[in-house]
Amino acid sequence: MNSPRRYLNIAHRGASAYEPENTLRAFRRAIELGADMSELDAHLSKDGHVMIMHNATVEKTTNGRGAIREMTLAELKRLDAGKGEQIPTLPEVIDLVRGKNGLYIELKGEGTPPAVVKILRDQNFTERRQVIVGSFLAPLVQEVKELAPEIATSLLVGPVFPADQLIAMTRAVNADYVHLCWENRHPTPHKLLTPELLSALRAARLGIVLWHEERPSELEVLRTLDVDAICTNTPDQL
């Protein structure tokens, strides 16, 4: 087997295998476990605050009910997001990780690009080593790059496409990275990462981010590949 290459260890929703996902507790644990970045999900509250939660509604991970976009910051902060944690805002997460850990921000909804860009600029948190902003929603990725060319962006891709389509899709929104979210697309998904695919993406000067992965047998292979980052719920295993 080839020697391991250097890649970013990205804690998916923080160290979510061990702590409540997308909470300050999870992001703090990710730092303790040696992650280079924490992945998190961004929505807007009713009063325009960037809230960190995966789903658009709060039922899955809190003791509340309702859509984030229909609730104010004060209402959201009253909820328990697990182990007594509150739903964090993006500025709170930046304050926690600054100088210790970067952020991989996934935009989940309409209106998030200008709000997130403003916070990143106001907080002087725009360098590539600090942050990457991505989304499955191509228009949001394009909007971030138009608003802030200095911020690294990523296009998340679920379906398995050939290299030429991946390159065209990523270039169409001027993204720096393609993020292959293929963990459930094959019994052994690393087999989808053929040498030809990775070589073509590199020839197109695209960065490569891989899905979140926790299976030891898969991680053993992924860590040998020429990729820029691997997401995982268990950063201590990567």
Given a contact cutoff of 8 angstroms between Cβ atoms, the answer to whether 142 and 174 are in contact is: yes
Locus of tokens 């690009």:
113
Interior CA angle at 143 toward 153 and 24, to 5°? 55
- Mean pLDDT split into 10-residue runs, the chain, 238 residues: 73 98 98 98 98 98 98 98 98 98 96 98 97 98 98 98 98 98 97 98 98 97 96 97
* CB-neighbour burial class of residue 144 (10 A; exposed 0-12, middle 13-18, buried 19+): buried
- Residue 134, pLDDT score: 98
Q: From the CB of residue 17, how many other CB atoms can be counted at a distance below 10 Å?
A: 19
Q: Which position among 43, 49, 54, 190 bears the catalytic label?
A: 54
Nearest to 97 by CA among 120, 113, 117: 120
DSSP code for 93: H
Domain boundaries, the chain: 8-237
Could you give the C-alpha distances from 164 to 161, 182, 229, in angstroms and in order?
Answer: 8, 17, 21
- pTM for this one? 0.97
Q: Are strands 207-212 and 8-12 parallel, antiparallel or unpaired?
A: unpaired
Give the whole-angstrom CA distance, residue 39 versus residue 132: 9
How confident is the model at residue 4, as a pLDDT?
53
* Active-site residue flag, 54: yes
pLDDT at residue number 6 = 87
Q: State pLDDT tens for residues 218-234.
A: 999 999 999 999 999 99
Instruction: List the structure tokens of 131.
Output: 């942050």
In CATH, what number does 8-237 get? 3.20.20.190
The pLDDT of residue 1: 40
Convert the pLDDT of each residue in 54-64 to its tens digit. 999 999 999 99
Supply 173's token pair: 């929104």
* Catalytic status, residue 179: no
The per-residue pLDDT for 5 is 59
Catalytic site residue from 12, 43, 179, 190? 12
